[in-house]
Amino acid sequence: MSASRHCARNSFYFFSEHPISFLADKPGANALAHPIAGLFFLVALALLFFAGPSFAAPDLPFEDGQDPEEIIVTATRNQRPLSEVPMSVTVLTRDEVLQSPAQAVDDLLRIVPGVNLPAASSLVSHPTSQSVSMRGLGRGRALVLLDGVPLNDGFGGWVNWTKIPYQNIERIEVVRGGSSSVYGTYAMGGVINVLTRPAEGRSMDLEASYGTQGTGRAHAYVSETVGNTAVAINYDFYDSGGYPVVAASERGPIDTNAYSEHNNLQLEANHSFDSGATAYVRTNLFRDKRNVGTPLANDSRDVWDVAMGTEFAAPGGGDGKISFFSSLQDFDNANTRVAQDRASEVLALTQEVPSFDIGTAGQWSKDLGFWSSFAAVGMDYRHVQGENRETIIDLPFDSSVTKGKQDALGIYAEMSLFPWPQFEALASLRFDYWSNYAASKTSEGNPTEYYADRSATEVSPRLSLRYEFDNGWATRGAVYRAFRAPSLNELYRGFYAGNMPFRPNNDLKPELLRIGGEIGFDYRNDRIQASLTGFWNELDDTIAFVFNSVPAPGASFQKRGNIVATQSRGFEFDSEIQIGNEWVLAPSYVFTDSTIQKFPARPDRVGNWLEDIPRHQAAVTLTYDNPDLFELMIRGRYVGKRYSSDTNDFEMQSFGILDISASKQLGEYLEIFLMVENLLNEEYDADRTGDTTRIGAPRQVWGGVRMQF
């Protein structure tokens, strides 16, 4: 095993309550939105159910004797051996996921070089703060996929980590570096693709565990094959009493445990046609309820989504794939005003945020027959619409309903050439069209305000080169350009935190990674794998908050704007050392220098560190694997000092965390395990909003049983 290998409501109430007002176009709406979505949907369905039997089976690029776990699909949108990819990639295997002392995917990813995550776990943090940064570019600038479908929330861009069926993960592929040339928006820092087990054969997995803070979780997975169709049911339950998230020195009578509970039910069916083509359909029901540390600070999410797709041998040669996904979500949010002595609180505002998300993608790829080359062309489309129904209770603003729609259409091409066997040139280019429209704001006692439609086009190229020497060494490099479009959340939804209002900005434009690049060296032999990669990124039109002081009877607030240019540069070291036949040591280190280069509104901040990006991060994992005895994993990680905001006025101190897990197989079907996070019970700063410091998880111990049939 190794990190380098390898207040609640009915979820759909708003659709039955306002089926016309929510979906109907408003003045200024783009009339193409629904026809395009409908057309892609019909095409996807037609190919899914009718095209399969007429095509021959596609050839998969597995070599004789090659371990399928060494084949990755994310880096180039085609199946490639991990050892030959001209990019910086980490793969976490299923064994690593199950044995890691972590309860959520974001906690699992904390040891992966180049991945920056909020120090507070997604199990206790506010849904809108669940995000990921890669290579120091800042939160929300990396794309997360679940089986190839965007997991970044369509409305807000945040990542619903707890929606991932954790125990059903097959592997996780982490690709670092700008990937907008094939994946579009959000992928400027890289891509994380979580791949789950497909429905196949007859099997059943059961798992139950219990631990500190009254934390219980249960998992059940059942699959069966009927003829050429395999079906599977997957269910996950999590419930925790939580822990106090405000630092002990600042805690007051109002502070309580931040508890959370979620249920996740997934149904899937896969069908293999006689021709060799395949098709799948999957649906997911997810409900999450949580409190973030005070009695009135409650949030909930109800999500229903569906995905379907097909892979086939295309007429005239090559492989084709088409997919479709859609999601309905209701997010309820309560922000509170807490007294200075933290002895009382009142509701500041409540929000109901219903949203609808639909998308489709298609790709054709083919081996070209010369210079061991292959090419791929594809397109994808995503439509998102949502509302922010904001009720103001104790703030000097008006209650309002703000809504808008967003379309994103991308076309890309990719080609790999091997002019000679040891040298690869991989080039990709993508054209994106982004549009915001049908946006308006209706406040109490005021006429509806309609916002102007906005659109933009972006071109994202990338060139990657790799040369492999005969002695186990390889060198690689890349240069790229990328972008990120503002989300509906940034455009139309404000919030209140740390006794400070944060306001949206409907005039935001896309952020642009003007230039980025990397150069790296890899080494592999029978016992050692190591990679060293240097990187740099220059980001313009970065979206950031600017403080606005309004004279009485107004109120000071922070407002988003495209007003910053930032730079991120550094290097990553990742390695794995096989010690004997049973021990594996995997140390890693990352240096990241992320700073503000331009800030016209606040020139005093030039040179400041970016929010929550440490300069130094290190991790080491030691594993012992002996099927006759037990499995053991020890993880240690160090996070250097960070700042809670780009003002750099509050320093969050460095900290180190030690985790450990052990498991034992009892017979053919039963396994027992014990896991400990934060073994030494270190108290460390997770983030700070206003005058309130929130801390990371204390020591957590849990154990359980896992049965596989």
- Decide if 112 contacts 134 (C-beta within 8 A): no
Average pLDDT over residues 559-568: 88
How confident is the model at residue 382, as a pLDDT? 96
- Residue 495 pLDDT grade (very low, low, confident, very high; cuts 50, 70, 90): confident
Of 37-46, 211-220, 557-566, 697-706, the least confident: 37-46
CB atoms within 10 A of CB 696: 22
Instruction: Examine the pLDDT at 70 and tell me if it is beyond 80.
Output: no
Average pLDDT over residues 561-587: 94
Computed on alpha carbons and rounded to an integer, the radius of gyration of the chain in Å comes to 25
- Residue 80 pLDDT grade (very low, low, confident, very high; cuts 50, 70, 90): confident
Instruction: Examine the pLDDT at 26 and tell me if it is beyond 60.
Output: no
Polymer length in residues for the chain: 709
**What are the counts of helices (DSSP H) followed by strands (DSSP E) for the chain?**
7, 38
Average pLDDT over residues 288-299: 94
Average pLDDT over residues 142-150: 93
pLDDT tens-digit profile of 81-109? 777 888 899 999 999 999 999 999 999 99
Q: Which residue type is seen at 49?
A: F
Instruction: Examine the pLDDT at 5 and tell me if it is beyond 70.
Output: no
Beta strands in 342-422 (DSSP E): 345-367, 374-392, 400-420
Instruction: Examine the pLDDT at 343 and tell me if it is beyond 60.
Output: yes
Average pLDDT over residues 382-409: 92
**Using CA atoms, how far apart are residues 139 and 367, in angstroms rounded to an integer?**
37
How confident is the model at residue 83, as a pLDDT? 78
**Using CA atoms, how far apart are residues 621 and 576, in angstroms rounded to an integer?**
9
CA distances (Å), origin 513, targets 413, 461, 517, 562: 20, 11, 10, 13
pLDDT tens-digit profile of 627-660? 889 999 999 999 999 998 888 989 999 999 999 9
Q: Considering only the C-alpha atoms of the chain, give the largest distance between any 2 of them, rounded to a whole number of Å.
A: 75
Half-sphere CA count of 394, side-chain side, radius 13 A:
12
How confident is the model at residue 435, as a pLDDT? 94
Instruction: Examine the pLDDT at 14 and tell me if it is beyond 80.
Output: no
**Using CA atoms, how far apart are residues 182 and 191, in angstroms rounded to an integer?**
11
Residue for token pair 């089986």: 147
- Decide if 143 contacts 183 (C-beta within 8 A): yes
Q: What is the pTM of this model?
A: 0.88
Average pLDDT over residues 296-320: 92
Chain mean pLDDT for the chain? 86
How confident is the model at residue 37, as a pLDDT? 39
Residue 223 vs residue 18, higher pLDDT: 223
Q: Which residue type is seen at 361?
A: A
- Tokens describing residue 40: 């892609």
**Using CA atoms, how far apart are residues 322 and 338, in angstroms rounded to an integer?**
50
The CATH architecture that domain 13-708 belongs to is: Beta Barrel (2.40)
Q: Distance from first CA to last CA of the chain, Å, rounded?
A: 22
Q: Which residue type is seen at 563?
A: I
CA distances (Å), origin 602, targets 61, 101, 539, 548, 598: 53, 43, 17, 12, 9
**Using CA atoms, how far apart are residues 355 and 371, in angstroms rounded to an integer?**
47
Instruction: Examine the pLDDT at 68 and tell me if it is beyond 60.
Output: no
How confident is the model at residue 373, as a pLDDT? 83
Which stretches of 414-481 are DSSP H helices? none
How confident is the model at residue 562, as a pLDDT? 86
- Decide if 353 contacts 7 (C-beta within 8 A): no
**Using CA atoms, how far apart are residues 192 and 197, in angstroms rounded to an integer?**
16
- Decide if 194 contacts 105 (C-beta within 8 A): yes
Is the bond preceding 553 in cis, omega lying within 30 degrees of 0?
A: yes
- Tokens describing residue 363: 């790709």
- Residue 64 pLDDT grade (very low, low, confident, very high; cuts 50, 70, 90): very low
DSSP state at residue 151: -
**Using CA atoms, how far apart are residues 33 and 439, in angstroms rounded to an integer?**
14
